[in-house]
Amino acid sequence: MLESWLRSAGALVLASLLVACGAIEDRQPARNPLAETPLSSTAVASVTRGASATPTASAGPGTRPPDAGAEIAVGRATEAMALWLDVPQRTLTPRLVEAVEWSDSCLGVQQPPLCAQVVTPGYRIRLEDALGATHTVHVEARSGRTVWVGEVTLQATVISVDATARRATVQADGQTVTLRLAPGTRWFPEDGEARATGKPAHVAYDPAVAPGTSGTAAWIALDRS
C-alpha cells in the first residue's frame, strides 16, 4: 500500500511541474524576425548612390522646363565631353539639365567669330568628372551641336605654352594660372597655339577641385592685333 501511494504522489508532483513549465513558456514574448535583422550597409549605400546621381532639372530665368529632348542632349553632352577630356563616358555624371533659349547662334558662349542674333533653343548640361570638377556643355536642340562653355572666363596674357606637357600658363590681374590643354581645348584662330606666347587672350577654363591637379582649358581666343 505504501509503495502504491508513493508512486501516485510522485506522478502528481511531476504533472504539476510540467503544467507550470508550460505556463512560463506561454508567457515568453513572441519573436520579431524583422527586429533581429538590421538594415544592411549595402542597401543603405545603394539608396544613397542612386539619390546623388540624379541630375537637377532646373527651370530658372531664361530657361524652360526640360522636355523629351533633354535625355538625348545629356547623351550628346556626355559623349562630347568624354572625347574632349579623353576620359571614359562612365566617369562623367550629369548634375544639371536645363532647357534654354539663347539669344544668339553661339549658344550663349562668346567665342569668335561673331554670332548671329537669333533665338536658338537648346540645353545646358553640367557634368561632374571622377575628380569632382564640373564641366558645362551647351547643346543646340535642332542640330545637336555641342559647345564646351568653360566655368571661368577671364582676360589674360598667355605667358607660355608647353606643347609637350600640354600645358598653358596665363596671367590675369597679377595671378598666374597653369592650365591643362585637353584634346578638346579649342584655339581661336585654329593655329593660335603656335603663336600664343606673349599675346593677350580670352581664356575659358574649368577649375580643378582635387589637390595637385590643374584646371582644364575649354577654349583660348587670342585678341586680334
C-alpha–C-alpha distance, residues 72 and 92, integer Å: 15
pLDDT tens per residue across all 225 residues of the chain: 445 544 554 554 445 544 444 544 444 443 333 232 232 322 222 222 222 334 545 545 456 666 779 999 999 999 999 999 999 999 999 999 999 999 999 999 988 878 899 999 999 999 999 999 999 999 999 999 999 999 999 999 999 999 999 999 999 999 999 999 999 999 999 999 999 999 999 999 999 999 999 999 999 999 986
What's the chain's Rg over C-alpha atoms? 34
Q: What domains can you pick out in the chain, each with its CATH number?
A: 54-148 (no CATH), 152-222 (2.40.50.320)
C-alpha–C-alpha distance, residues 108 and 85, integer Å: 22
